[in-house]
A and B are shown apart, each in its own frame.
Chain A
């Protein structure tokens, strides 16, 4: 059974700092990997999707990398802003691509 772990569980940084969120998964036979943002009590906003054949994806200040062989992905946020405060969830697609397994999330607080 796929297990997804995110470290750290919570992170508090001052505004402007660059930061890295980590995600690890136990079964490397994944289809894709997706990073989401979730504000308290709200829905899931997709940030980046990395296909299994890719090593990284970039969108604005966000960069996500994927190393399937080691079962790891990182989300890099450059020049963090208070508006980035949210929970960031990593999710992996199973080999058939028909279900997502989520990590426990990293709660990020960016202080002005």
Chain B
């Protein structure tokens, strides 16, 4: 069965650079969620989209922005990267809002 696809799987950036993470949800899933997991921490909700509209917002820095496109894939844009942004970034998708969330393998971002 198709799963959530995230790219790239690993990304190394320097401070103050920008990064774009991509997420391709399971086919027919119209809701996408982004989470950030710092080293030794539990995942923290960043933002979610339903039918290409932002549906909820968590602890996402102003330096980050995200959107969901017409094909339902989503991109998380991160600017002015800081060392503290180094983390595992997960995308999840669900068939509808409130349904079970299926997680992708994550993108490991390292900021040096």
* A→B interface (CB under 8 Å): 31-32, 34, 36, 41-46, 49, 89, 91, 93-94, 96-105
Q: A44-B43, A89-B42, A105-B42 are in contact. Are A100 and B101 (CB under 8 A)?
A: yes
Give the chain B neighbours of A42 by CB distance below 8 A.
105-106
Give the chain A neighbours of B44 by CB distance below 8 A.
102
Give the chain B neighbours of A91 by CB distance below 8 A.
43
Cβ contact of B97, chosen from A45, A97, A101, cutoff 8 A: A97
- Smallest CB-CB separation from A89: which chain B residue? B42
Q: How many residues of B contact A (CB 8 A)?
A: 26
Decide if B42 touches A98 in the complex (CB within 8 Å).
no
Decide if B102 touches A46 in the complex (CB within 8 Å).
yes
- Smallest CB-CB separation from A102: which chain B residue? B42
Q: For the complex, what is the distance from the CA of A97 to the CA of B101, rounded to whole Å?
A: 10
Cβ contact of A96, chosen from B33, B56, B88, B108, cutoff 8 A: B56
The contact string, 1 if C-beta is below 8 Å from chain A, for chain B 49-75, is 010000110100000000000000000
Give the chain B neighbours of A101 by CB distance below 8 A.
45
Given contacts A43-B103, A99-B33, list 19 more A-B pairs with CB under 8 A.
A31-B98, A42-B105, A42-B106, A44-B43, A45-B103, A89-B42, A91-B43, A93-B98, A96-B55, A96-B56, A96-B97, A97-B99, A98-B31, A98-B33, A98-B97, A100-B35, A101-B45, A102-B42, A102-B43
The contact string, 1 if C-beta is below 8 Å from chain A, for chain B 79-112, is 0000000001010100001111111111010000
Decide if B43 touches A98 in the complex (CB within 8 Å).
no
User: How many whole Å from B27's CB to the nearest CB in chain A?
Assistant: 18
Give the chain B neighbours of A100 by CB distance below 8 A.
33, 35, 43, 45, 92, 101
Q: For the complex, what is the distance from the CA of A104 to the CA of B102, rounded to whole Å?
A: 19
Would you list 13 pairs from A and B whose C-beta atoms are within 8 A, ordered by A residue? A41-B108, A43-B90, A43-B103, A43-B104, A43-B106, A93-B98, A96-B56, A96-B97, A97-B97, A97-B98, A98-B31, A99-B33, A100-B43
Give the chain B neighbours of A104 by CB distance below 8 A.
42
